[in-house]
Amino acid sequence: MKVVFPSLSENERFARIAVSGIVSLADPKIDELADIKTAVSEAVTNSIVHGYPETVGKIELTVRLYEDSTVYIKVSDKGCGIEDVQQAMLPLFTTRPDEDRAGLGFAVMESFMDKIKVTSKVGRGTTVVMHKRITPKERK
């Protein structure tokens, strides 16, 4: 699935619902689905708040479900970009302290997903790619 939507805060919910629809096909455990939805929420919120701080832009969400039950999720924007990705990924780092941001978005994504990769170019945008292997529920 690939969808493009405006960087409006209400679309964070849409992104979580869209991803959960695809991920549900792998019959994940409830906690795995919740983890994935939280990671997506953080990635989309980062694009909204940090990628487009003064304007509305487009966010692209791609979700793939592979035969081995691995979920691939890509969230990308064409916003302002991140000057120092390594610094931005440190817990408690935020570019928006004026808005009481905790600076835990990337830490949350890393803790809930098996793999995360962030690429960014100043003035061109940011892409977050996440992977998670789903453990199908045991059948009774």
Q: How far from the centroid of its chain's Cα atoms is residue 51's Cα?
A: 13
The one-letter amino acid code at 102 reads A
Verify whether residue 60 is a known catalytic residue. Answer: no
Q: Helix crossing, 30-46 with 11-23: angle to 10°?
A: 140
Verify whether residue 110 is a known catalytic residue. Answer: no
Verify whether residue 16 is a known catalytic residue. Answer: no
Please provide the DSSP assignment of the chain as one string: -EEEEE--TTHHHHHHHHHHHHHGGG---HHHHHHHHHHHHHHHHHIIIIISTTS--EEEEEEEE-TTSEEEEEEEE-SS--S-HHHHTSTT--S-GGGT--S-HHHHHHHHSSEEEEEEETTTEEEEEEEEE--PPPP-
Annotated catalytic residue within 10, 11, 42, 64: 42
Annotated catalytic residue within 46, 64, 67, 133: 46
Annotated catalytic residue within 60, 101, 110, 133: 101
Residues recognised as catalytic? 42, 46, 101
